């Protein structure tokens, strides 16, 4: 089970989970300023929830590749 550490909190999630949803469910602040209100809600078009990931992750899907 993957372990996630962010903003001083550490928790586990199911393999294959949506990281944005997991972080928000655990009270992690992903957004700054107006992006808290105006963001794409995880569609992957605004980039405001971008995070740096360390460790083993799944291969990028088509949305990840298109965004990059």
46 belongs to the binding site for ligand FES (CB under 6 A): yes
Contact 13, 22 (CB under 8 A): yes
6 belongs to the binding site for ligand FES (CB under 6 A): no
60 belongs to the binding site for ligand FES (CB under 6 A): no
Contact 2, 12 (CB under 8 A): yes
Tell me which residues in 18-37 interact with ligand FES (CB under 6 A).
20
Contacts of 2 (CB under 8 A, 6+ apart): 12, 13, 14, 15, 17
How many chain residues bind ligand FES (CB under 6 A)?
11
Judged by the rule CB under 6 A, the positions of this chain that interact with ligand FES are 20, 39-42, 44-49
């Amino acid at each position: 089970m993957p372990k996630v550490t962010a903003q001083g909190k550490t928790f586990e999630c199911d393999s294959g989970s949506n990281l944005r949803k997991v972080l928000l469910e655990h009270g992690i602040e992903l957004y700054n300023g107006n992006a808290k209100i105006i963001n794409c809600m995880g569609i992957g078009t605004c980039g405001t929830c971008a995070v740096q990931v360390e460790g083993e992750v799944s291969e990028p899907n088509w949305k990840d590749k298109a965004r990059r």
